Amino acid sequence: MIINRLATRAVSTAFRQRAAVQSTAGFHSTTAADAKVAVLGAAGGIGQPLSLLCKLSPEVDELSCYDIVGTPGVAADLSHIPTKSSTTGSLPSPVAWPPKHNGGLEEALTGADVVVIPAGVPRKPGMTRDDLFNTNASIVQTLVEGCAKFCPDAIIAIISNPVNSTVPIAAEVLKKHGVYNPKKLVGVTTLDVCRANTFVANSQGWDPKDVDVTVIGGHAGITILPLFSRVDGAKFSDEELEAITVRTQFGGDEVVAAKAGAGSATLSMAYAGFIFTENVLKAMRGEEVTQCAFVESDLTDAEFFASPVKFGKDGVEDVLPLGELSAYEKGWFDKMLPELKKQIQKGVDFVNK
């Protein structure tokens, strides 16, 4: 799993406007070698920089932006950037009688190969990701219903928090529509890896591109478990290990507090979401890609779990074994698992209430 190497290469090649690797396998768009990415929530704090990075990527041929406001302007702005991808921006269809389906969402999703969902409200000081549940759960449910109808074969990457609950929500929605495929539903936990890599590099005086920390569990507080014992050459005292673990787990709180009510982690999350998305596209074109993701898993008795995952042309190809944990990591693992299962069940119950 070489996420940092993939990340560095992804961004640098995007800015050089490298020609995309051509392939005829693995895509559902009208042209086999073309990749369509739909960003749902594209006018938001994460959605706009995420859409910008996707526009710069040589792996993206068509970028479709959707939100409840602002997306025509976002798409028009992005369309002036001289890269090969086309850009469209859609809004929900006006309310009509008799009621009809959302034509704007249909336009955004039809033919999509990858759907990235950062839509939702951000955290404010004092809020946990779980505090966002009621609002963001409904948003994710509605958007995934659209995916089930208009792009049932697309890979769906969930960024909207709380990921530990919104991914199970998406799974239950897809099951109700008869189109659930565990290989094509993932929660994006890449930001946890980015934070862990950055914090280790800073503490050791290393270049972050040379660090690759495996982060397992979920994507909220103590459910985030960085496996620092596997970082070759890193040396921590007991106090330092505790501090860097907790900082990785609650790195989002650090940003929320620093923004003082103006939002949560948007730029770093957009970067992480872009890296994840571009790596998925590369895997669909035949490259070997392994990265951490929150997926349906039998590694533990939690239905979903974040761990190193091998991606291929059809999405998740293999969930890799966890391997041995240190005694310190085992302690966190035992504390994390009941909380993770509780958050997963909350998502399942939301759809089936």
Q: How far is CA 310 from CA 93, 151, 314, in A?
A: 38, 23, 11
Residues 314-327 have pLDDT tens digits of 999 999 999 999 99
Cα separation, 334 vs 239, whole angstroms: 20
Quote the CA–CA distance of 88 and 42 in Å, as a whole number: 11
Instruction: Give the span between the Cα atoms of 247 and 193, in whole angstroms.
Output: 12
Give the 3-state secondary structure of residue 123: coil
- Report how far residue 56's alpha carbon sits from residue 68's, in angstroms, rounded to the nearest whole number: 24
Three-class secondary structure of residue 52 per DSSP: helix
Residue 93's pLDDT is 86
Which pLDDT belongs to residue 131? 77
The mean of the pLDDT values for the chain is: 91
The dihedral formed by the CA atoms of 110, 282, 316 and 351, expressed in degrees to the nearest 10: -40
Residue 331's CB is within 10 A of a number of other CB atoms, namely 11
In this structure, the dihedral spanned by the alpha carbons of residues 41, 46, 50 and 52, taken in order and rounded to 10 degrees, is 90
DSSP 8-state secondary structure symbol assigned to residue 95: P
117-165 pLDDT, tens digit per residue, is 999 987 777 777 677 898 899 999 999 999 999 999 999 999 999 999 9
Compute the distance between CA of residue 157 and CA of residue 170 in angstroms, rounded to an integer.
Answer: 10
Position 155 scores a pLDDT of 98
* Per-residue pLDDT band at 55 (split at 50, 70, 90): very high
Residue 27 has pLDDT above 90, yes or no: no
Q: Measured between alpha carbons, how far is 184 from 180 in angstroms, rounded to an integer?
A: 8
Q: What is the pLDDT of residue 24?
A: 32
Between 220 and 16, name the one with better pLDDT. 220
C-alpha to C-alpha distance for 91 and 106, rounded to whole angstroms: 10
Q: Is the pLDDT of residue 31 over 60?
A: no
Taking residues 280-294, report their average pLDDT: 97
- pLDDT number for residue 196: 98
Digit-coded pLDDT (tens) for 179-216? 999 999 999 999 999 999 999 999 999 999 999 999 99
177 is a catalytic site residue: no
Which pLDDT value is given to residue 32? 40
- At 17, the pLDDT band (50, 70, 90 cuts) reads very low
Catalytic pick from 80, 101, 177, 219?
A: 219
Is the preceding omega at residue 162 within 30 degrees of 0, hence cis?
A: yes
| Burial per residue of 55-83, b for 16 or more beta-carbon CB atoms within 10 angstroms, e otherwise | bbbbbbbbbbbbbeebbeebbeebbeeeb
